[in-house]
Amino acid sequence: MKIAVVAPSNTLKREAADRVEAITAARGDCELFIHPQCFLSEGHFAGNDGERLSALREVMADPSVDAVWFARGGYGSNRIAEAAAAGLPGAARSKVFMGYSDTGFLLAAFHKAGLKVAHGPMPQDVVRDGGEAAVNRALDWLIGRDPASLDPQLEQPAMAFNLTVLSTLLGTPLEPDFDGVELLIEEIGEHHYRIDRLMFHVTSSPNIRKVARIRLGRASDIPENDPEFGSDEQAIVADWCGRAGIELGRPADIGHDSGNKVVPFARFPE
Amino acid sequence: MKIAVVAPSNTLKREAADRVEAITAARGDCELFIHPQCFLSEGHFAGNDGERLSALREVMADPSVDAVWFARGGYGSNRIAEAAAAGLPGAARSKVFMGYSDTGFLLAAFHKAGLKVAHGPMPQDVVRDGGEAAVNRALDWLIGRDPASLDPQLEQPAMAFNLTVLSTLLGTPLEPDFDGVELLIEEIGEHHYRIDRLMFHVTSSPNIRKVARIRLGRASDIPENDPEFGSDEQAIVADWCGRAGIELGRPADIGHDSGNKVVPFARFPE
């Protein structure tokens, strides 16, 4: 089992890479290849668009690689997602791709292109409190498809996205078909009024209105609204689901934290 | 000439209302009616959705009102825009509606419904440095259609939007037809990486790709990007216009400031 790590958004911290390498060495059940592109830095990004795309396409085309694990989020995978999903090498079809947050743009594009993707913890998560558990949860699923890594309430087919990422991929070539899908969403660092605006946008989409249901994960680090918004994220999501005639499902066990569970987009077991 | 002020988003400051009333009294060329709804407060908003919608519909249906002037932005007009534009009273068609920022949701919905709208300064702007000039510019256009109030480079038909508002109205029932339109955009308080993400979203839209050109106004109060993003808002907009095959026009004289010029959506003179 060979897992390749590339960074389509921001630069991976060396400390995080070292700690994840120590975890995989101790497990002894996989070979981890952290692509040197992960440590590049150009402005906001882990290298320029060409460098990030090239590293991603390299591991996608490598038949020895079983899984491609996105190093971290931040911002930038949207800038290369359409090109990354075009003219796919045959070897890409035998792999699974995992990430979340900003790398949701790639999950969407790759899922739409027929590849196997999953929303789940990334190497950079190791630096969080309890981050080793998150990394091991991701590895347990990548290596052994461990059902204990999944949201226990998951009904498939499912998809999971950061809410801002979801809003900004609608109407782009990356937008997948949401028909009948259980849609899990999570957010970080957005004011309640922004969550409300994003929910207005997302639930107004005719494509999103075809989902089986929406389930809200954790919305963390919400800045203070001035004045107080008047309702919390659960009420906001319930309000917009109600207006749009979308079923609101149970809370989802995903978020920008070490408890973040794995959500495979395809039915599981495959 | 009677101008009615309502607040479809946030509460109007009493100080701003007093100062605008003093300006119109000194001008003596219009009657200003500041609807009491402007001073309501419920959570984030100038009253709940029903109260904001009701005040707006009341002045839309009033045949004695010649212009409806949105008091200020903030957040919330999207929550009532679809209902506000449905089943229009005949009296709405003889009026012009003006605002910008969050009230862009209403500009879009009303323009799509065939009403006359313009992007321009609002009463709350009076509290800005130089805000009296902004208010008088808006009044000069509302009362006399003064061409000096307009962006001097404007080529019509045109539309103008806050970039975040534009992004979150795409794909909703509020989205107008952008075919052949000169599209002016402006932004406030968003990081460069967010402006980049918004431009990715907006320029990926097939509808937006039909514009005659995009012109960037001012992007103000941009928080520091950590790390430095690597390009500024002009370069970001040029990059995404280039990728999308959209012509980039000259800088636009609009923004969240007292220099904000008027942009009528219909051809001018009407």
Which residues on chain A place their C-beta less than 8 Å from a C-beta of chain B?
A: 41-45, 75-76, 78-79, 164, 167-173, 192-193, 196-198, 200-201, 204-206, 225, 227-231
Residue A270 confidence (pLDDT) above 80: no
Cβ-based contacts of A193 with chain B (< 8 Å): 44, 75-76
DSSP state of A221: S
Find which of A52, A201, A208 to mutate to test the B interface (most B CBs within 10 Å of its CB).
A201
Q: What is the 3-state secondary structure (H, E, C) of chain B?
A: CEEEEECCCCCCCHHHHHHHHHHHHHHCCCEEEECHHHHCCECCECCCHHHHHHHHHHHHHCCCCCEEEECCCCCCCHHHHHHHCCCCCHHHHHCEEEECHHHHHHHHHHHHCCCEEEECCCHHHHHCCCHHHHHHHHHHHHHHCCHHHECCCCCCCEEEEEHHHHHHHCCCCCCCCCCCCEEEEEEECCCHHHHHHHHHHHHCCCCHHHCCEEEEEEEECCCCCCCCCCCCHHHHHHHHHHHHCCCECCCCCCCCCCCCCEEECCCCCC
Does the pLDDT at position B225 exceed 90?
no
Q: What percent of chain A has pLDDT over 90?
A: 96
Provide the sign of the torsion angle of the four alpha carbons B214, B220, B223, B229, taken in this order: positive
Residue B91 has pLDDT above 60, yes or no: yes
What does the pLDDT read at residue B269? 56
pLDDT over 90 at A269, yes or no = no
Chain-chain contact of A227 with B193 (C-beta, under 8 angstroms): no
**pLDDT tens readout for residues A5-45:** 999 999 999 999 999 999 999 999 999 999 999 999 999 99
Among A204, A222, A225, A231, the strongest candidate for a mutation testing the B interface, having the largest count of B CBs within 10 A, is A204
Residue B270 has pLDDT above 70, yes or no: no
Give, in order, the Cα–Cα distances in Å from A260 to each of A101, A121, A132, A158. Answer: 11, 6, 12, 15
Query: Is the Cβ pair A227, B41 closer than 8 Å?
Result: yes
Residue B266 banded pLDDT, cuts 50, 70, 90? confident
- Give the residue-averaged pLDDT of A82-103: 97
Contacts of B253 (CB under 8 A, 6+ apart): B151, B152, B153, B217, B259, B260, B261
Task: Judge whether residue A57 has pLDDT over 80.
Answer: yes
Q: What is the mean pLDDT of chain A?
A: 97
Q: What is the CA radius of gyration of chain B?
A: 18
Q: Hey, are the CB atoms on A171 and B173 less than 8 Å from each other?
A: no
**B169·A230 Cβ contact <8 A:** no
Q: Which amino acid is at B240?
A: W
A193:B44 CB<8 A: yes
For the entire predicted model, the pTM comes to: 0.97
Q: What is the mean pLDDT of residues B189-211?
A: 98
B10 vs A266: which has the higher pLDDT: B10
**In this model, does residue B243 exceed pLDDT 60?**
yes
Calculate mean pLDDT across residues A132-153.
97
Q: Which residues of A touch B195 (CB under 8 A)?
A: none
Q: What is the mean pLDDT of residues B255-263?
A: 98
Helices A14-27 and A131-144, packing angle to 10 deg: 50
**Min Cα separation B188/chain A (Å):** 14
Q: Please tell me the distance from the alpha carbon of residue B75 to that of residue A190, in angstroms, as a whole number.
A: 14
Q: Is the ipTM of this complex over 0.95?
A: yes
DSSP 8-state assignment for residue A121: -
Contact state of A172 with B44 under an 8 Å Cβ cutoff: no
Amino acid (one-letter) located at A245: G
Cβ contact (<8 Å) for A228 and B43?
A: yes
For the segment B257-264, the average pLDDT, to the nearest whole number, is: 98
Tell me if B44 and A229 make a contact (CB, 8 A cut-off). yes
- Cβ A215 vs Cβ A250: under 8 Å: yes
The pLDDT of residue A225 is 85
Closest by Cβ to B225, choosing from A44, A204, A231: A44
Which positions in chain A touch B50 (Cβ < 8 Å)? none
pLDDT in tens, B146-159: 999 999 999 999 99
Strands (DSSP E) along A8-70, which ranges? 31-34, 67-70
Interchain pair B205, A172: CB under 8 A: yes
Give me chain B's average pLDDT, please. 97
